[in-house]
Amino acid sequence: MKKYFASVVCLQRSNKVANSACELKTCKQGFARLNRNTGFTLIELMIVIVVMAVLAAIAYPNYTQYMERRDLAIARQEALRIAAELERFKAKNFSYKGFDASYLYTYESTDADGNHATASYYNKTTGQLLLPLGSTSSTAKYTLTLVDGGAAHKPLTIVKGSDGQETADSESVKGLSWVMSLERAKDSDGLPKQPRNYDLLLSNTGIRCMTKVKDVVTGYANCGSYSESW
């Protein structure tokens, strides 16, 4: 009788071991199937890479064009803003001479001693404004330059010397007209960083044109043979 019970116990233990072995085998097979189902084959990976490359080839040019259109829109906006202020200035002073756009582009800053100061993005000495606002000479997309419409094309701002008297160059400015150029930023080779974009020219005498040809608008006369209106 004891032998019988011992045999039954051994059989039960054998069944448990067998069941455990089966369960372990089943788990391994399940993990193997899972790995096969969730893994990428080389072909699938290549397809994903090709699709991403195609999407990038389509998206990047569109993004670049969008940024160029945005930069051009900003340049136009600031040119028209200054033009409107010029007309208000003349209505009060009967001349454009002495116009200073610094008040339009002020920002809070600190001086060399760390004291609070107010500065301006507009350079009244040169009549220039880097765009977008807050950009530097290395990051700017456009340089706006406002000058007198006379032959010398001097800034409209009245400049005084150390003696407190107006300088000879400043005296030569009549302020009867104005002209404004907006030139694209250039790389180290002197070529526009945005060759597909435009340089702009605007004046109170009716000039309002743009061109993709570099170094034309800085003559302040017209936009050359490939001129477009805006």
DSSP 85-144: HHHHHHHHHSSSTT--GGGGGEEEEE-TTS-EEEEESEETTTTEEEESTT--TTT-SEEE
Q: What does the alpha-carbon distance between residue 214 and residue 197 come to, in Å, rounded to a whole number?
A: 10
Residue 149 has pLDDT above 50, yes or no: yes
On whether residue 31 sits in a domain, the answer given is no
Residue 5 has pLDDT above 50, yes or no: no
Q: What share of the chain is helix, strand, coil (3-state, %, to 5)?
A: 45, 20, 35
User: Average pLDDT over the chain, rounded to whole?
Assistant: 86
Which position has the token pair 């116990």? 9
How far CA 214 is from CA of 181, 197, 217, 229, in Å, comes to 12, 10, 8, 16
Sequence-separated (6 or more) residues with CB below 8 Å from residue 127:
145, 146, 147, 155, 156, 157
In tens, the pLDDT along 157-174 reads 998 998 999 999 899 999
- Please list, residue by residue across 96-113, b when 16 or more beta carbons sit within 10 angstroms of its beta carbon and e when fewer do: bbebbbeeebeeeeeeee
On whether residue 131 sits in a domain, the answer given is yes
In tens, the pLDDT along 207-221 reads 999 999 999 999 999
Find the length of the chain: 230
| Bond preceding residue 192 cis, omega within 30 of 0 | no
Instruction: Count the neighbouring beta carbons within 10 Å of the beta carbon of residue 214.
Output: 15
Residue 133 has pLDDT above 80, yes or no: yes
On whether residue 23 sits in a domain, the answer given is no
Residue 110: per-residue pLDDT? 82
Q: Are 162 and 153 in contact (CB under 8 A)?
A: no
Instruction: Report the domain count for the chain.
Output: 1
Q: Are 203 and 219 in contact (CB under 8 A)?
A: no
In tens, the pLDDT along 23-52 reads 545 545 654 554 555 567 888 788 888 888
Domain that holds residue 145: 44-229
On whether residue 7 sits in a domain, the answer given is no
On whether residue 39 sits in a domain, the answer given is no
pLDDT (mean) for 127-154: 96
Q: Are 201 and 78 in contact (CB under 8 A)?
A: no
In tens, the pLDDT along 58-69 reads 766 777 888 999
Residue 28: per-residue pLDDT? 55
Q: Are 211 and 198 in contact (CB under 8 A)?
A: yes
Q: Are 148 and 166 in contact (CB under 8 A)?
A: no
